[in-house]
C-alpha cells in the first residue's frame, strides 16, 4: 500500500559549523529540511530529504535525526549514513558539501519499518537543534577567527571550519547533539554484546548499563563508535573483530569520572589495538590537510612501538615515509639523543617517530606525566606540521613544534586508515607491544587554527576528568 508523500519543513538556527565568509561582520545561519516519504510497501519505504540553506554559505554538513518507531536506513545515495539504534546521521558526499545561500543539497534512501513509519519530529544540522527561525550571530566563526568559547570538541572544530571526520570516546559525547552509542562491550559468559550510550544528549557514558551487563562476568570493548556520522567505527584487530592477531581490551580495567559521572577508559595493554579503513569515508588521504587530538594518560605508558591515534596505512604494513600521520604518546626515543625519559607527544609519520622537524632531538619537547594528557597534531600535507601537549585537567596547550615537515615527507602520502593503540605495521600477523590509555579523540578535515585547538583544550579541561 502506498502512502501519500508529504513534506515536513523545519528551520535550523545558530548551527555551529555553518561557516560564513571571513569578510562578514555578522553571520546568518538557518536551514529548512523537507523530508518526504516517496513510496511505501510492506516492511519498507523510500524517502527523499532536501536541506535548504537559509543563512550564509556552508562548506560541509551533517544532518541527524531520530526514528521514533525503530525504522532503519538500508540504502542511501548522495551522502554517507551512520545509524546507531534510532539515531541517524547523514554526511555530505564529496560533491554536495557546499551549499550557497538559498541553495539546496538533497539525498534519498530506502528504509525498513515494522509497526509504523512516522516522520522524524526534529532534525539537527552540524550539531545544533532546529529552532524554527533563522538566527544572526556575531562575530562570525571562521577557520582563522576564534571559535565559540563553549561547546564540545567536534562542535568547536566545526565552528572553526575543520569538521570532525572521526570522533571516538568511551567516556563521553564529543558533540552536543550526540545521543548514540559510544562503544560496544562483549561479555565472556555468553558472548553477547551491548552498546553503551550516553546518559543524556551530549553527555557522559552510561557506565551503569555496562556495570549491569557485565555483572558476574568479564567484558571486553569490541567497537568504539564514530560520533562524526561518517561511520568510522573502530574494531579490534583480532579474530572476531576486523581480523588480525590482537585481542580486544578489557572493559573494566580503569574507571574515571568525567563531568561527575563514572566512565571507563579504553585501557590498552600489549596485544590490544583497534583499526578502521576510513579512506572512503572522509579520512584525509594523500597530501590533504588534517588535524587530530586525543586525551590519554601519562601514567600508563611504555616504549613499545607504537601507541598511536590517527591516520595509518590501509594495508596495515609499513608503506614508506609519509604513509602515516598519527599522534604517538609514549617513552620511545626513536632516533636517540632524547632529553629525559618521557613520555612525549610525537608524530608517527611512518619510518620514524618525530619529536620535531628532523631526526635530531627537539629541545622544545617536554614530558607529560600527569594522569590525563591532551595531545594534538596537525599537518598541512605539504610543508608544515605542529605538535602540542598539555595537562588535560588544567592549563593551555604547549607548542612543542610548529614548522617544516622532516626531509622526505613533503608531500605526505596518507592512506586514510585509522589506528588506535598500535603502529601502522600491526597487527595482521604480529601483535601490538605498546601500552597506553585512550579516553577520547577526534580527527578533522583541514588544518585547525591555533584558536580552535585552544578552545578544544579548554573544553577538555571543562569536562572535569578525575
Among 265, 264, 386, 410, smallest CA distance to 327 is for 386
Q: Quick check: 55 pLDDT over 90?
A: no
DSSP-based helix, strand, coil % in the chain, nearest 5: 5, 40, 55
Give the residue, 56 or 95, on which the prediction is more confident: 95
Beta 440-445 vs 255-258: how paired, if at all? Answer: unpaired
Cell numbers 550557497 correspond to 100
Torsion, Cα 250 255 223 85, to 10 degrees, reads 140
Q: For residue 183, what are the CA distances in angstroms to 41, 64, 84, 350?
A: 34, 19, 10, 28
Residue 394 preceded by cis peptide, ω within 30: no
Dihedral sign, Cα of residue 301, residue 306, residue 307, residue 308: positive
Average pLDDT over residues 395-413: 97
In terms of Cβ atoms closer than 10 Å to its own Cβ (0-12, 13-18, 19+), residue 111 is buried
Q: Quick check: 2 pLDDT over 50?
A: no
Average pLDDT over residues 6-26: 32
Helix/strand/coil (H, E, C) string of 103-126?
CEEEEEEEEECCCCCCCCCCEEEC
In terms of Cβ atoms closer than 10 Å to its own Cβ (0-12, 13-18, 19+), residue 433 is middle
Tens of pLDDT, residue by residue over 254-298, are 999 999 999 999 999 999 999 999 999 999 999 999 999 999 999
CB atoms within 10 A of CB 394: 9
The stretches of 1-63 forming alpha helices (DSSP H) are none
Q: Quick check: 17 pLDDT over 50?
A: no
pLDDT of 23 reads 31
Say what percent of the chain tops pLDDT 90: 70
Residue by residue, DSSP assigns 408-428 as T-SS--B--EEEESS-SS-SS
Q: Which of 56, 155, 325, 425 is catalytic?
A: 425
Q: For residue 234, what are the CA distances in angstroms to 221, 261, 310, 427, 446?
A: 10, 24, 12, 14, 22
pLDDT of 131 reads 54
Cell numbers 530529504 correspond to 49
Q: Quick check: 15 pLDDT over 70?
A: no
CB-CB contact of 33 with 12 (8 Å): yes
| Known catalytic membership, residue 425 | yes
Tens of pLDDT, residue by residue over 144-165, are 344 444 589 999 999 999 999 9
Q: Quick check: 7 pLDDT over 70?
A: no
Q: Quick check: 453 pLDDT over 80?
A: yes
The whole-angstrom separation of Cα 220 and Cα 239 is: 13
Degrees, nearest 5: CA angle 444-446-450:
90
Q: Which of 350, 402, 440, 453 is catalytic?
A: 350
CB-CB contact of 414 with 324 (8 Å): yes
Per DSSP, what are the bridge partners of residue 49?
35, 107
Tens of pLDDT, residue by residue over 305-324, are 999 999 999 999 999 999 99
User: Mean pLDDT in the chain?
Assistant: 87
| Known catalytic membership, residue 246 | no
What's the maximum distance between 2 C-alpha atoms anywhere in the chain? 74
pLDDT of 58 reads 72
Weakest-pLDDT range from 66-70, 77-81, 212-216, 406-410: 66-70
Return phi, psi of residue 460, to 5°: -65, -45
Beta 164-169 vs 440-445: how paired, if at all? Answer: antiparallel
Amino acid at each position: 500500500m502506498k502512502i501519500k508523500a508529504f513534506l515536513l519543513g523545519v528551520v535550523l538556527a545558530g548551527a555551529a559549523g555553518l561557516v560564513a565568509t571571513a569578510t562578514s561582520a555578522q553571520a546568518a545561519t538557518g536551514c529548512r529540511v523537507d523530508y518526504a516519504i516517496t513510496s511505501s510497501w510492506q516492511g519498507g519505504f523510500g524517502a527523499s530529504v532536501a536541506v535548504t540553506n537559509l543563512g550564509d554559505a556552508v562548506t560541509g554538513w551533517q544532518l541527524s535525526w531520530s526514528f521514533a518507531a525503530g525504522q532503519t536506513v538500508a540504502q542511501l545515495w548522495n551522502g554517507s549514513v551512520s545509524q546507531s539504534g534510532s539515531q541517524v546521521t547523514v554526511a555530505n558526499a564529496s560533491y554536495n558539501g557546499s551549499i550557497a545561500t538559498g541553495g539546496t543539497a538533497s539525498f534519498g534512501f530506502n528504509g525498513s519499518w515494522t509497526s509504523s513509519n512516522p516522520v522524524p519530529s526534529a532534525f539537527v544540522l552540524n550539531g545544533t537543534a532546529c529552532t524554527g527561525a533563522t538566527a544572526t550571530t556575531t562575530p562570525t566563526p571562521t577557520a582563522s577567527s576564534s571559535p565559540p568559547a563553549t561547546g564540545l570538541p567536534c562542535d568547536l572544530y566545526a565552528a572553526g571550519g575543520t569538521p570532525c571526520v572521526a570522533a571516538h570516546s568511551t567516556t563521553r559525547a564529543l558533540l552536543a547533539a550526540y545521543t548514540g552509542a559510544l562503544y560496544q562491550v562483549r561479555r565472556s559468559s555468553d558472548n553477547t554484546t551491548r552498546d553503551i550510550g550516553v546518559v543524556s544528549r551530549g553527555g557522559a557514558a552510561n557506565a551503569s548499563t555496562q556495570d549491569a551487563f557485565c555483572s558476574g562476568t568479564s567484558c571486553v570493548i569490541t567497537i568504539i563508535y564514530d560520533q562524526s556520522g561518517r561511520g568510522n567505527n573502530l574494531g579490534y584487530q583480532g579474530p572476531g573483530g576486523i581480523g588480525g592477531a590482537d585481542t580486544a581490551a578489557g572493559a573494566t580495567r580503569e574507571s574515571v569520572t568525567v563531568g561527575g559521572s563514572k566512565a571507563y577508559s579504553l585501557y590498552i595493554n600489549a596485544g590490544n589495538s583497534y583499526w578502521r579503513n576510513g579512506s572512503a569515508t572522509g579520512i584525509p588521504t594523500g597530501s590533504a590537510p588534517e588535524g587530530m587530538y586525543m586525551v590519554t594518560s601519562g601514567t600508563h605508558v611504555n616504549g613499545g612501538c607504537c601507541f598511536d591515534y590517527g591516520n595509518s596505512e590501509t594495508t596495515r604494513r609499513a608503506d614508506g615515509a609519509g604513509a602515516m600521520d598519527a599522534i604517538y604518546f609514549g617513552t620511545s626515543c626513536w632516533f636517540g639523543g632524547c632529553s629525559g625519559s618521557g613520555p612525549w607527544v610525537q608524530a608517527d609519520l611512518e619510518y620514524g617517530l618525530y619529536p620535531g622537524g628532523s631526526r635530531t632531538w627537539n629541545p622544545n619537547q617536554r614530558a607529560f606525566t600527569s594522569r590525563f594528557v591532551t595531545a594534538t597534531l596537525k599537518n598541512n600535507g605539504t610543508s608544515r606540521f605542529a605538535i602540542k601537549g598539555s595537562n588535560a585537567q588544567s592549563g593551555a596547550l604547549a607548542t612543542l613544534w610548529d614548522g617544516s615537515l622532516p626531509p622526505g615527507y613533503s608531500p605526505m602520502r596518507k592512506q586514510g586508515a585509522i589506528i588506535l593503540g598500535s603502529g601502522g605495521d600491526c597487527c595482521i600477523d604480529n601483535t601490538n607491544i605498546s601500552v597506553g590509555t585512550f579516553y577520547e579523540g577526534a580527527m578533522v578535515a583541514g588544518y585547525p587554527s591555533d584558536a580552535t585547538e585552544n578552545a578544544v583544550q579548554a573544553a577538555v579541561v571543562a569536562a572535569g576528568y578525575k
